[in-house]
Structure 1
C-alpha cells in the first residue's frame, strides 16, 4: 500500500528494505482518492521499534494513509531522544481541533500500577474522550486496551500470579467483519502481568470476538463498532518476546521462557512465528472497515459520531 510518512523517519529505511511501498509527498498530492488519516499514540518506551511494527502492519493495504504520531506531554520519555520526539511527534494541543479516520493507542509498561497512579492518566483520559467524537475508529492495544475498557466501560483489571508470557491460542467467536478470513483458532503474543475481569463485560455494550479458556477474552469491540480492544500484541516482531525474555533474565527476574514461542520450547532451536498472518489480516480488515464507514470530509466525523451514539447502533 502507498503509505505516506516523513521521508527521514528512521522507520522508513527499515520498511523500504522490506519492500514496503512508500510514496513521497509530491506523488501523494496528485492522487485523486482521499488518504486515510491515522494517529498513533505511542506509549511504548522504545518508540522507534513500535513505529516500525505498526507501520509494517498498516502498510498492507491498497489505501493511501497519512500517519501522525502523538506523544504524551505529562510524562518524561527516557528511551527516545528529544530530537526524535520533537521532529516526528505531535502534542495533543496540536491535534485536538482536528479529526482522524483512525487512532491507535499502544500498550505501556505501567500495568502493575493502578490506572489513576499513572502520571499521564488524565491526559490519556482526555485523549480517549476526544477520540469518541473526533475519530472514526480506535484500536487499543494491551495496557491501552485495559485502560480503554476501564475508562469507557468500568471493566476492572486483575493481577496475575505470574507474567502471562508467550504465544497463546484463541478461538474466534462468530463472524465479525474484523475477523474476516481468520482461522477458527489463531495465535497472538501476550506479555502482561494483568488481565481483565470478564465478569464485568456487559454484552449489551461489548462484543467478545475471541477468547481463550485459560486467559479469557482477547479481542473485544464496542457494540457500535467504534472501539476495538486487543489484549495481546499482534504487532510484535518475531524476536520481540525473546528480547524481553533476555532482558528479564539480565535483570535477575524469575520470568519463565515464553510458551509456545521457541521451536519445541527450546530457545536454542529458534523461534516459531505463529501470529504473523493474522496480525496483517486484522489490521487490513480494520483499515478496510474504516475506509468503508468514514466520511469523505473529515470535519463530518463529529456529526457522524453524534448520530452513532444517539442511535446506539450495534455491529
Structure 2
C-alpha cells in the first residue's frame, strides 16, 4: 500500500523515483479504506530533507498511510520557504481537535538550551499532553524524545564535553519486543548530538523499558507503554550523506569537529560513506506501524481512550 502525499510535495517525486509507493490525495480520497493517519511534527530547520527521510520509512510498509505535516504554531521557520510551509504544513493549533493513529516528533537544534528556555516550550508541553488524548502512539526522536521523557518522567538531559558524532555500535536489549522484530543482536545507529540521557536514570523509572543501548553513547531506544510512546535518541532516519553534510558544513564554517566515528571507510572523509543502518531503520518504523495497525481503534474517536 502507498503513502499518501500531496503530488507537488518535493518528497513525492523523490520517493516515487526510489520505488516507494506514493499516492496523490485525490486518488486516495477514492479508496474504500481507512488509512492510518500519521502526523510529523517537524522541528528541524531543513524541513524538506526531514519530511522526505521519515516519509521514506513509513511509506515502505504494506499499509496505506496518510501523512500529515505539522509545525509549531508559535514559531516561524527561517530555513524553509514560507510558500512550502504555507502549502504543506498546518500549525498544531489547527489539528489540536483531531485524532491521529501515530505521531513523530523530530529533533531540534536547541539541545544546548534548558527546556524552559525554548521559545515554544509551553506549546510543546501542550502537545505532549495532547498525545495522551488524541494520538494512539508517539515516537519522539533525539531532542523530541529527550523532551518527552523529561516531561513525563523527569529524566534529565546532560551536556556532553564533546559531540557524540558518527555511527556507533548498539546492543539489542529486548529481542522479544515487537518493535525489534527482525533485529540482529547488535547494530549501528547514526548519532549526532551534544546531550545525552543516562542509562541509570532511565532504569530508575519503573515504567520505562530500554530496548536499544550503547556502551559508548548510552540509551538509544526506550519504550514507555503507559504513555504509548517510544523515545529514540539517535537517528535511524538519516540518509547516507546526512552526517557527511553536517561534517562538511562545520569544516567550511571553521568549527571544531571530529571526523564522524565509524562512518567513512577507513575513517577517511575523502571516501564516500557506507550506509549500514538502513535495514534496521525500515524494520523499526515498519514494526511501529504494524503495532499501530494491530491496536488502533477503527473508530478514530476512540483514540486516546484505549491502550495499546
Global fold match (TM > 0.5): yes
- CA apart distance, 1:225: 6.5
Match of residue 63 from structure 1: 63
What is the TM-score with the length of structure 2 in the denominator?
A: 0.96
Does the CA-based 8 Å contact 1:37-1:102 persist in structure 2?
yes
Match of residue 311 from structure 1: none
Does the CA-based 8 Å contact 1:38-1:102 persist in structure 2?
yes
- CA apart distance, 1:26: 4.0
Does the CA-based 8 Å contact 2:2-2:65 persist in structure 1?
yes
Match of residue 194 from structure 2: 193
Cα distance between partner residues in 2 of 1:32 and 1:183: 37
Cα distance between partner residues in 1 of 2:173 and 2:256: 35
Matched, 1:250 2:252: yes
Match of residue 227 from structure 1: 229
Match of residue 35 from structure 2: 35
Match of residue 163 from structure 1: 163
Match of residue 80 from structure 1: 80
Which range moved further: 221-230 or 27-36? Answer: 27-36
- CA apart distance, 1:252: 1.1
Does the CA-based 8 Å contact 2:40-2:68 persist in structure 1?
yes
Q: List per-residue Cα deviations over 1:212-251 (Å, max 9, x = no partner).
A: 1122111101033710000001100000000000111111
Cα distance between partner residues in 2 of 1:66 and 1:76: 25
Q: List per-residue Cα deviations over 1:186-217 (Å, max 9, x = no partner).
A: 11100000001333223421000011112211
Unpaired runs of 5+ residues, structure 2, are none
Does the CA-based 8 Å contact 1:35-1:63 persist in structure 2?
yes
Cα distance between partner residues in 2 of 1:65 and 1:101: 10
Map 1:202-221 onto structure 2 (within 5 A): 202-221=204-223
Cα distance between partner residues in 2 of 1:223 and 1:97: 24
Match of residue 299 from structure 1: 301
Cα distance between partner residues in 2 of 1:73 and 1:30: 31
Aligned residues: 306
Match of residue 182 from structure 2: 181
Match of residue 279 from structure 2: 277
Partner of 1:124, secondary structure, is helix
RMSD (Å) for aligned C-alpha atoms? 1.3
Q: List per-residue Cα deviations over 1:155-197 (Å, max 9, x = no partner).
A: 0001111000000111001220000000000111000000013
Does the CA-based 8 Å contact 2:168-2:216 persist in structure 1?
no
- CA apart distance, 1:283: 0.4
Match of residue 108 from structure 1: 108
Match of residue 97 from structure 1: 97
Match of residue 289 from structure 1: 291
Match of residue 143 from structure 1: 143
Cα distance between partner residues in 2 of 1:93 and 1:144: 18
Cα distance between partner residues in 1 of 2:304 and 2:145: 23
Cα distance between partner residues in 2 of 1:33 and 1:115: 41
Cα distance between partner residues in 1 of 2:105 and 2:32: 29
Cα distance between partner residues in 1 of 2:219 and 2:93: 34
Which range moved further: 50-59 or 263-272? Answer: 263-272
Cα distance between partner residues in 1 of 2:71 and 2:25: 23
Cα distance between partner residues in 1 of 2:25 and 2:158: 46
Does the CA-based 8 Å contact 1:204-1:223 persist in structure 2?
no
What is the TM-score with the length of structure 1 in the denominator?
A: 0.94
